[in-house]
Amino acid sequence: MRFLPDFSLAAFNTFGVAAQARRFALVANEHTLIEWCVANAGAEAPFLLGGGSNVLFTRDVEAPVLQLALLGRRVVFDEGGTVLVEAMAGERWHAFVEWTLGLGLSGLENLSLIPGCVGAAPVQNIGAYGVEMAERCAGVIAIDTTDGSVREFSPRECAFGYRDSIFKRGSAALPRDRYAITRVRFRLSRRFTPRLDYGDIRAELDARGVGTPTAQAVAEAVAAIRRRRLPDPAVQGNAGSFFKNPIVAADVAQALRERFGAMPQYPHGGDGREVKLSAAWLIEQVGWKGRGIHPDDAAAVSAQHALVLVNRGGATGGALWALAQAIQHDVAERFGVTLEPEPRIV
């Protein structure tokens, strides 16, 4: 593996903020990664990077940055009605989804157009339009960066939650970056069962004159909604939703509803005990939508979507983080609700 010194990460994070890696290497081969982990055993832990669409760099990275660029995808096993497929960590998520649809397999269509790479998908259990990758995941294969051993995690072992997994949580027993995810397996279906309940999917299909949708038609509808709703990182730096939607106990939600009548609330978890609030709505209510912070307003809340922080040009990671903290403060003061960042803050 060839390390490049003092490497700019500006093009490797979708916020487009300036940051440097003291050492940076592109990992294009599993064996080389294993060799490096064995040789590096007991030394410093790496920083694992995919497409950089869910990180905010507020400083340079001292740890060796490894960008997982492993490529490849294949059908592992055709089980008849269902098919087990595998993609390597560096595959672009959306291209992988399109590949599965091209094979006539459904299950990932609601997750169309999410930026980033396959290897990061299990980290926060990516989700959109009523589906989470956990529902389709058949296993995660990773290299233990402390000794180079290969380990397979069952979906249960990944302990997936809403925008969460053991890989994201980071605990003393399993610190972040311990496991470099190299391959992810999915069980997909030949028989399409549409999931159309979330948000505007039905309305979008109707507007397109689609009566009985195919998986491909759902993917296209989701992509169209996303293009309308979210700012494009290629045009204005961002990392998608900056905060998770807060989950509160049902009695807290009830009290909030009594005080703030119009507050959007959604059932969470299926047993009626928890309720999901809309972080975007909370942020809009405290007046941050479309607003930037001093001195130059370069770090701002998107005027298009209140949950998306944007780099209007030249914003530093520090300014974006200061903005995030100001929002957290105002939402906590007004609603007593804590907003938790979704991206990894470095």
The contact set with ligand FAD (CB under 6 A) reads: 14, 48-55, 68, 89, 114-117, 119-121, 123-124, 126-128, 167, 180-181, 230, 233, 238-240, 344
Q: Which of 163, 178, 183, 187 is catalytic?
A: 163
- Using CB under 6 A, count the residues that bind ligand EPU: 18
What SS3 state is found at 229? helix
Given ligand FAD, ligand EPU, none, residue 307, with its beta carbon under 5 to 8 Å by kind, binds: ligand EPU
Residue type, 112: S
Tell me if residue 35 is catalytic: no
338 and 332 in contact (C-beta within 8 Å)?
Answer: yes
Q: Rounded to whole angstroms, how far apart are CA atoms 127 and 116?
A: 13
**197-216 residues near ligand EPU, rule: CB under 6 A:** 199
Kindly state the DSSP code that residue 60 receives in the 8-state scheme. Answer: -
Give which of 215, 50, 39, 195 is closest to 128, Cα–Cα: 195
Tell me if residue 241 is catalytic: yes
Show the tokens assigned to 289.
């939508």
Show the tokens assigned to 176.
């972040």
Contact region with ligand EPU (CB under 6 A), list: 19-27, 91-99, 133-141, 300-308: 300-308
Given ligand EPU, ligand FAD, none, residue 68, with its beta carbon under 5 to 8 Å by kind, binds: ligand FAD
Give which of 337, 319, 317 is closest to 328, Cα–Cα: 337
Q: How far is the CB of 135 from ligand EPU (least distance, A)?
A: 14
If one asks whether residue 307 binds ligand EPU (CB under 6 A), the answer comes out as yes
91 and 73 in contact (C-beta within 8 Å)?
Answer: yes
- Pick the binder of ligand EPU from 72, 170, 264, 269 (CB under 6 A): 264
Q: Rounded to whole angstroms, how far apart are CA atoms 301 and 285?
A: 13
Given ligand EPU, ligand FAD, none, residue 51, with its beta carbon under 5 to 8 Å by kind, binds: ligand FAD
Q: Which of 53, 165, 241, 302 is catalytic?
A: 241
Tell me if residue 149 is catalytic: no
When the beta carbons of 137 and 256 are compared against ligand FAD, the nearer one is 137
Show the tokens assigned to 224.
């169209």
Which phi and psi angles does 291 have, rounded to 5°? -100, 145
Q: How far is the CB of 170 from ligand EPU (least distance, A)?
A: 18
Place of tokens 């995919």: 50
Give which of 236, 202, 234, 242 is closest to 218, Cα–Cα: 202
Show the tokens assigned to 326.
């100001």
If one asks whether residue 289 binds ligand EPU (CB under 6 A), the answer comes out as yes
Q: How far is the CB of 16 from ligand EPU (least distance, A)?
A: 16
What SS3 state is found at 295? coil
Contact region with ligand EPU (CB under 6 A), list: 58-66, 184-192, 213-221, 305-313: 305-313
Q: Which spans of this chain sit near ligand EPU (rule: CB under 6 A)?
A: 128-129, 199, 229, 240-241, 244-245, 264, 278, 280-281, 284, 289, 305-307, 342
Catalytic residues: 163, 241, 342
